[in-house]
Structure 1
Amino acid sequence: MKFKAAFVSILLCYILSSGFSQNNDWKFIKKSDGISIYHRKVGSGNLKDVKIETMFDSNLSTIAEAVLDVSSFNKWIYKVDYSKILKVIGPNQVEYYNRIDMPWPSSDRDIVAINKLYQNPQTKEVVSEDICNWKGLPEKKDLVRIKDFYAKWTFIPTANGVKGTYIFHSDPGGELPAAVVNLFIDEGPVNSIKGLKRMLKLEKYMNSNSHNIVN
């Protein structure tokens, strides 16, 4: 357990000290349905990091319930058609698997990641981080394993609701047309957030606080 925690910390430090965080030049792209979208160029190719800001009309515990419900990822995360928990590492920390349905003729992808959710007891801010752990499960012959991925949700309570900031970085791997890459950059995160907002209306999340989040 201690080794796993140390590994995650080292991996996170590496990611945050790499090209992912060296450039903070976010470019505003658009605002739609209360969702503000920013891009940041990665290297010399077509890849871009994505940042999205939006407000949630839900409390923190409801959001945490939905974000950590791995078995329901396929109901709101863009193009995810199957998800499962591989391992419970500790309180509010799991290793999980996602299979991603890619547009034909591209090969479907899959990903293994570790999610950790934690709350600042003073500010009540909730953070959910997903760190790629692609070696956590043997690769499948008919799928392309995503080996470069990081995502972070920050939820901050305000007088007008919960402000959510989402940062997403991923290299889907393999050969993909620029149009497909841009599809996942432009439509993926926005559709996922819209899906998350729908999920937050479900009573099973509204009436539960299994992760002991302070609202």
Structure 2
Amino acid sequence: MIVRCALAIAFIASQLAVRAQDNWKLDTEKEGIKIYKTAVPDSKVKAVRVIAMLDTDLSQLVSVLMDVNTGSQWVYHTKSSVLIKKVSPSELYYYSEVDLPWPCENRDFVAHLTVTQDPRTKAVTIDGPAVPGYVPLKHGIVRIGHSKGKWILSPVGNKVKVEYTLQVDPGGAIPAWLVNVFAAQGPLESFRKLKAQLKKPTFQGAKLSYIQD
């Protein structure tokens, strides 16, 4: 049962990102999705890095990632994802609860998303660290207090290269080695569903005033 918990909690890898670490080692490669891992100083949980080429443009992809209210449709094991505060079209805060199988307790977090674009290369960076406050702690749910995450979206012809990295401590009593063993499953499933999400009519032809395609 604890293995199932570790597998489920690996979903976190599809929501949050981190600065690139050295010595990345390829862990999984399926359907054009490459997942790497690396050790992190002073942490038992390895960082995860995902690289994929997606058939989309920058505005369409950013529209999906910033539409946090639909996160439960494609982010692995997400029970709820709700906008808390929209600071501007390119900055927001949202709350999410992660559904884990018994006997594990669900996890939750508040994330702060900010979008920036390099005017020369057009590469888009989305930072999404977990932040304290905004939502009171809830009984029976473990709050994720530490995470670093980053999306880097680079246009390549008529596609977008996605580099998605993260390092997160899921908290609770789940052994870190088990989380590391199954950490590839969460991002793999999320990226599969992300591809499907991009094809939905809601996001077709999306254009954003702060993104130059």
TM-score of Structure 1 vs Structure 2, range by shorter chain: 0.7 to 0.9
Q: Summarize the Cα distance change of 1:192–1:211 in structure 2 as closer, same or farther, 3 Å threshold.
A: farther
Structure 1 Cα separation of the partners of residues 196 and 178 of structure 2: 26
Alignment partner for residue 147 of structure 1, among 141, 145, 148?
Answer: 145
1:31 equivalent to 2:29? Answer: yes
What corresponds to 2:56 in structure 1?
58
Q: Which structure dedicates a bigger proportion of its chain to helix?
A: 1
What corresponds to 1:125 in structure 2?
123
What corresponds to 1:78 in structure 2?
76
What corresponds to 1:90 in structure 2?
88
Q: Deviations over 1:51-94 (max 9, x none)?
A: 01110111111101101011100011111110111111223100
Structure 2 Cα separation of the partners of residues 22 and 161 of structure 1: 22
Structure 2 Cα separation of the partners of residues 184 and 115 of structure 1: 26
Which residue identity does 1:173 align to in structure 2?
G
What's the Cα RMSD here? Answer: 2.1
1:115 equivalent to 2:110? Answer: no
Which residue identity does 1:31 align to in structure 2?
E
Which residue identity does 2:100 align to in structure 1?
M
Q: Deviations over 1:159-179 (max 9, x none)?
A: 251111000111001111457
Alignment partner for residue 100 of structure 1, among 82, 98, 101?
Answer: 98
1:193 equivalent to 2:162? Answer: no
What is the deviation of 1:22? 8.9
What is the deviation of 1:211? 4.6
What corresponds to 1:6 in structure 2?
none
May I ask how many residue pairs the two structures share in their alignment? 197
Contact 1:153 1:166 in 2 (8 A): yes
Structure 1 Cα separation of the partners of residues 51 and 98 of structure 2: 24
Q: Summarize the Cα distance change of 1:44–1:192 in structure 2 as closer, same or farther, 3 Å threshold.
A: same
Which residue identity does 2:164 align to in structure 1?
Y
What corresponds to 2:174 in structure 1?
176
Structure 1 residues not aligned, in runs of 5+: 1-15
Structure 1 Cα separation of the partners of residues 19 and 67 of structure 2: 28
1:137 equivalent to 2:139? Answer: no
Q: Summarize the Cα distance change of 1:209–1:160 in structure 2 as closer, same or farther, 3 Å threshold.
A: closer
SS at structure 2 position matched to 1:110: strand
SS at structure 2 position matched to 1:136: coil
Contact 2:83 2:93 in 1 (8 A): yes
Detail structure 1 runs of 4+ shifted over 3 Å in the superposition: 20-23, 43-46, 177-180
1:48 equivalent to 2:49? Answer: no
Contact 1:93 1:116 in 2 (8 A): yes
TM-score (norm 1): 0.84
Q: Summarize the Cα distance change of 1:118–1:44 in structure 2 as closer, same or farther, 3 Å threshold.
A: closer
Which residue identity does 1:124 align to in structure 2?
K
Q: Summarize the Cα distance change of 1:39–1:22 in structure 2 as closer, same or farther, 3 Å threshold.
A: closer
TM-score (norm 2): 0.85
Contact 1:103 1:180 in 2 (8 A): no
Structure 2 residues not aligned, in runs of 5+: 1-16
Contact 1:134 1:146 in 2 (8 A): no
What corresponds to 1:4 in structure 2?
none
Contact 2:91 2:113 in 1 (8 A): yes
